């Protein structure tokens, strides 16, 4: 009986010694992920606070609201690149949790911004350069471009942009970018070659309709030739990606 008790005690101690380091590692890994996500939240706080501070949705407030929306949108995307580099240093499980946390925050921001833009569009129509200025129109376009979770809204904005560009109140390139983004999402050829992906560590456009004449369309839209556009893509954005 004494031997059985001693063996049981020894076995329990052995299990505890085996489990404890594993548990400690898991806790440390979770803490590392939480630290990275807290750092990301701190990066976003200034622009998030600036956006939250704008309570007015009157016509005169629209340019400032759109500017704050754009500022937060860009902070999100700059932060993604910074934090993802830190996430890459973690082990696979922690890396995924970290990346998922970053993506969740980005998605939440895009959804909130697109809802704000919907309210603006419903109330005032498309924020054209004539009505709200170039900066406000560009900010609205960027928010719509990033509303990938809501294709019907993007299609609605594309219709508004078609009318706005026809009257000279929005740049043709804004319509081109949004058209291409929707086309690629629908698994159709794009027309201006604005959308691409990383292939063998290099940026390549998705299939282009009438690719031989794409530079003519780009020129008509006030855009640089494809070769110039390709070379302007940050080479680090495709580093290590296929």
In a shared domain, residues 11 and 69? yes
Whole-angstrom Cα distance, residue 209 to residue 222? 18
d(CA 153, CA 144): 8
Helix, strand, or coil here: 17?
helix
Is 226 inside a domain boundary?
A: yes
* pLDDT at 205 (0 to 100): 95
Q: Are both 113 and 215 inside the same structural domain?
A: no
Q: Do 219 and 99 belong together in one domain?
A: no
The two three-digit tokens of residue 198, written as one number: 């990383």
The backbone torsions φ and ψ at residue 193, rounded to the nearest 5 degrees and listed phi first, read 70, 30
Which residue, 101, 126, 142, sits at the end of a domain? 142
Question: CA nearest 70: which of 143, 146, 149, 147?
Answer: 143
Are 222 and 108 found together in one domain?
no
Joined tokens for residue 183: 């086309």
| Domain annotation covers residue 6 | yes
Write down which residue in 126, 142, 158 finishes a domain. Answer: 142
Number of helical (H) and strand (E) elements in the chain, helices listed first: 9, 2
If one counts the domains in the chain, the total is: 2
pLDDT of residue 19: 45
Task: Give strand ranges (E) for the chain.
Answer: 196-199, 202-205
Q: 92 and 180 in one domain?
A: no
Residues 176 and 127 in one domain: no
Q: pLDDT tens for the chain, 242 residues: list them.
A: 544 444 444 444 444 444 444 444 444 556 778 888 888 888 889 999 999 999 888 999 999 999 999 999 999 988 877 777 778 888 888 888 888 888 898 999 999 999 999 999 999 999 999 999 999 999 999 999 999 999 999 999 999 999 999 999 999 999 999 999 999 999 999 999 999 998 888 899 999 999 999 999 999 999 999 999 988 886 666 755 55
Cβ–Cβ < 8 Å for 159, 200: no
Alpha-carbon radius of gyration of the chain: 25
CA-based torsion, 64, 133, 60, 106: positive or negative: negative
My answer on whether 96 and 180 are in the same domain is no
The answer to whether the CB of 106 falls within 8 A of the CB of 40 is: no
Same domain? 29 vs 107 = yes
8 and 47 within one domain: yes
Find out whether 182 and 158 touch, Cβ atoms under 8 Å.
yes
Do 186 and 94 fall within a single domain? Answer: no
Q: Are residues 76 and 178 in the same domain?
A: no
Residue 54, domain member (yes or no) = yes
φ and ψ of 55, to 5 deg: -95, -15
DSSP 8-state assignment for residue 213: G
Q: Which two tokens stand for residue 213?
A: 């004449």
Which residue segment(s) compose the domain that 212 sits in? 171-242
What pLDDT is stored for residue 10 in this prediction? Answer: 42
Q: Note whether 57 and 65 are within 8 A (CB).
A: yes
Residue 151 is predicted with a pLDDT of 97
Evaluate whether 157 touches 178 at the Cβ level (below 8 Å). yes
Per the domain annotation, does 46 fall within a domain?
A: yes
Same domain, 68 and 7: yes
Whether residue 152 lies inside any domain: the answer is: no
Q: Give the end of a domain, one of 142, 161, 191.
A: 142
**pLDDT in the model for residue 237:** 67
In a domain, 149, yes or no: no
């Amino acid at each position: 009986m004494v031997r059985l008790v001693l063996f049981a005690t020894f076995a329990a101690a052995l299990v505890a010694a085996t489990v404890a380091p594993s548990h400690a590692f898991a806790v440390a890994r979770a803490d590392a992920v939480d630290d990275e996500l807290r750092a990301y939240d701190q990066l976003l706080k200034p622009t998030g606070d600036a956006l939250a501070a704008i309570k007015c949705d009157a016509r005169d407030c629209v340019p400032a609201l759109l500017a704050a929306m754009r500022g937060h949108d860009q902070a999100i995307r700059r932060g993604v690149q910074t934090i993802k580099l830190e996430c890459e240093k973690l082990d696979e499980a922690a890396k995924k949790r970290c990346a998922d946390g970053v993506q969740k925050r980005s998605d939440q921001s895009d959804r909130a911004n697109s809802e704000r833009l919907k309210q603006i569009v419903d109330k005032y129509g498309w924020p054209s350069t004539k009505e709200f200025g170039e900066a406000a129109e560009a900010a609205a376009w960027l928010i719509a471009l990033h509303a990938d979770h809501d294709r019907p809204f993007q299609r609605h904005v594309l219709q508004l942009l078609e009318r706005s560009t026809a009257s000279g109140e929005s740049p043709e390139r804004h319509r081109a970018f949004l058209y291409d983004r929707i086309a690629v999402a629908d698994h159709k050829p794009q027309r201006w070659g604005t959308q691409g992906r990383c292939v063998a560590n290099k940026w390549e456009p998705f299939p282009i309709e009438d690719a031989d004449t794409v530079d003519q369309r780009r020129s008509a839209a006030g855009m640089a030739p494809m070769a110039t556009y390709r070379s302007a893509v940050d080479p680090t954005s495709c580093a290590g990606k296929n």
